[in-house]
């Protein structure tokens, strides 16, 4: 789903010169002020250590794109320098250019997504990155997170690896059937997916599975239906304190639920009002950010996740994407054309 959003965002950037910028989100009636959220991101971008990590780089790039329709040149420059500088000699990416040289598929994925948003996919050594990810592909279709014997392939690492190869236009490196089989082994008895085989279902694992299966053509109607049922039950647990050690009542969980439903084309079939209420309940009025769960203050990841969720729920006026059918943007989810100012 993040690939789809990235594609839409990229198209947005490309289309800016033709259509003009999206206006800053108006003040919402429920107290959520997305223009204040935008100012928060701008404030974060002024910090000395900005963007701190390749994951934060992606959050910033995405959020600026959605909230303002653009990334300011100086911000873009800093993001590009940071992300491209995080590429290691093995072609993979570390979290940042300076500290730690351990590259893995997780940071590689976020780096590629960010470069996509910046329109700078060629700013790095793509061949090396392809080789890096390709070197981690296992015989059973899974993908290890990093080199080394101690690194074990999981659903998460496989998702990040497959998604990275998709961004690099090199899914041909994979045996799609094997990937699908590996991922399918993580389906649980309650129809969602777990991070490990025989593990408990979670929104995070379910989204990762859905996205990966979608990329390797591993989704069938039965699987979709079962997964949608699981996600509907997950929505019912949103905002329920203490449920499943709080896992469902987090912004991260909401993001994964929304992402998965969007991948499955089922977002309009579920109680999106409940999702929206949960997301906006985590708004922090003091600075316009969003917290990761009830009672907590603003964090950069949870603020990005809120923007993502509200955008997918049609609550942020994202300009219509443009692009040819059949190109890389063809999987982009069509945005609403009659979006109203956020009724938050």
Partner 1 sequence: MKKSYKPYAALCTAVFILGLSPFTLQAAKPVDNDGDGYHTKQDCNDSDPSVWSLNSCGQCAPEPPGGCGGTTCTDADLDTYATEGGSCGPVDCDDTDSSINPAASEVCGDQVDNNCDGNINEGCSGASRDVIVMATNDLGMHCACPGAEYFLLLPPFNTLRAQVIERGLGSPVVLDDPNDIRVEYNVVENTDANLQADPYYAKWIEMMPKYGFGPALNADGKIQGLTGATLDGEMHAKTGEGWWEIVGVPAFPDVSNASSPGEKVMIDPLSEGAPDRNPYLTGNIKVYDQVTNQLLAETNTVVPVAFGGCCNCHLQVTADAGLPPTPENSFLLMGQLHERDSGINIAELDPDGDGTVGPVRCSVCHLDPAMGESTAPGGYTDSEGNPLPTSVYTFSDVLHRWHVENPTVIGYEPDLATNCYNCHPGNGVNCYRGHHVNKDGSGPGGELWCTDCHGDLHQRVAEGQLEAPWSDTTLPKCEDCHRRTGEGGGYLHMGIFGQYLNSRGHKNDKILCSTCHGAPHALYPSTLAKDNQQNLNLQGLANPIGVCDTCHKGKSSRYSKPQH
Residues that bind partner 1 (CB under 8 A): 36, 39-50, 52-53, 55-56, 94-96, 98-100, 102, 104-107, 110, 144-146, 151-152, 154, 156-157, 160, 194-200, 202, 204-205, 241-247, 286-288, 292-301
Q: Which is nearer to partner 1, 151 or 173 (CB)?
A: 151
Measure the N-to-C terminal CA separation of the chain; round to a whole number of Å.
23
CB of 275 to partner 1, least distance (A): 20
CB of 322 to partner 1, least distance (A): 31
CB of 195 to partner 1, least distance (A): 4
Q: Which is nearer to partner 1, 70 or 247 (CB)?
A: 247
CB of 92 to partner 1, least distance (A): 11
Nearest to 342, CA basis, from 303, 304, 309, 316: 316
CB of 24 to partner 1, least distance (A): 14
**Half-sphere exposure at residue 5, Cβ-oriented, CA atoms within 13 angstroms:** 31
Phi, psi of 34 (to 5 degrees): -70, -20
Phi, psi of 12 (to 5 degrees): -60, -45
CB of 96 to partner 1, least distance (A): 6
What does the alpha-carbon distance between residue 137 and residue 127 come to, in Å, rounded to a whole number? Answer: 16
Q: Which is nearer to partner 1, 10 or 110 (CB)?
A: 110
Q: Which is nearer to partner 1, 13 or 306 (CB)?
A: 306
Q: Which is nearer to partner 1, 14 or 50 (CB)?
A: 50
Q: Under a CB-based contact definition with an 8 Å cutoff, are residues 329 and 5 in contact?
A: no
Element (H, E) at 215: helix 203-215
Q: Under a CB-based contact definition with an 8 Å cutoff, are residues 183 and 218 in contact?
A: yes
In DSSP notation, 105-134 reads: HHHHHHHHHHHHHHT-GGGS-HHHHHHHHH
Q: Which is nearer to partner 1, 77 or 98 (CB)?
A: 98
């Amino acid at each position: 789903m993040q690939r789809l959003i990235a594609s839409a965002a990229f198209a947005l950037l490309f289309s800016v010169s033709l259509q003009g910028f999206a206006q800053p989100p108006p003040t919402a009636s429920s107290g959520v002020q997305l223009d204040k959220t935008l100012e928060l991101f701008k404030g974060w971008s002024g910090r000395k250590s900005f963007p701190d990590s390749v994951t934060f780089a992606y959050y910033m790039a995405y959020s600026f794109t959605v909230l303002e329709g653009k990334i300011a040149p100086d911000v873009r420059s800093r993001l590009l320098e940071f992300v491209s500088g995080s590429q290691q000699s093995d072609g993979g990416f570390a979290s940042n250019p300076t500290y730690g040289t351990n590259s893995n598929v997780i940071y590689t994925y976020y780096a590629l997504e960010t470069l996509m948003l910046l329109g700078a996919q060629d700013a790095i050594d793509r061949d090396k990155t392809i080789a890096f990810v390709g070197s981690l592909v296992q015989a059973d279709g899974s993908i290890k997170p990093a080199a080394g014997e101690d690194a074990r392939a999981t659903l998460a690492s496989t998702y990040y690896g497959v998604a990275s190869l998709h961004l690099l236009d090199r899914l041909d490196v994979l045996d799609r059937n094997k990937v699908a089989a590996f991922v399918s082994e993580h389906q649980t008895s309650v129809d969602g997916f777990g991070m490990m085989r025989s593990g408990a279902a979670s929104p995070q694992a379910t989204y990762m599975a859905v996205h990966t299966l979608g990329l390797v053509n591993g989704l069938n109607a039965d699987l979709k239906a079962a997964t949608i049922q699981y996600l509907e039950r997950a929505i019912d647990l949103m905002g329920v304190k203490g449920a499943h050690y709080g896992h469902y009542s987090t912004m991260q969980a909401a993001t994964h639920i929304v992402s998965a439903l969007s991948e499955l084309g089922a977002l309009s079939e579920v109680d999106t009002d409940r999702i929206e209420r949960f997301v906006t309940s985590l708004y922090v009025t003091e600075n316009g950010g969003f917290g990761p769960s009830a009672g907590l203050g603003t964090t950069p990841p949870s603020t990005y996740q809120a923007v993502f969720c509200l955008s997918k729920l049609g609550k942020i006026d994202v300009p219509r994407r443009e692009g040819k059918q059949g190109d890389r943007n063809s999987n982009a989810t069509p945005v609403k054309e009659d979006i109203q100012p956020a009724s938050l």
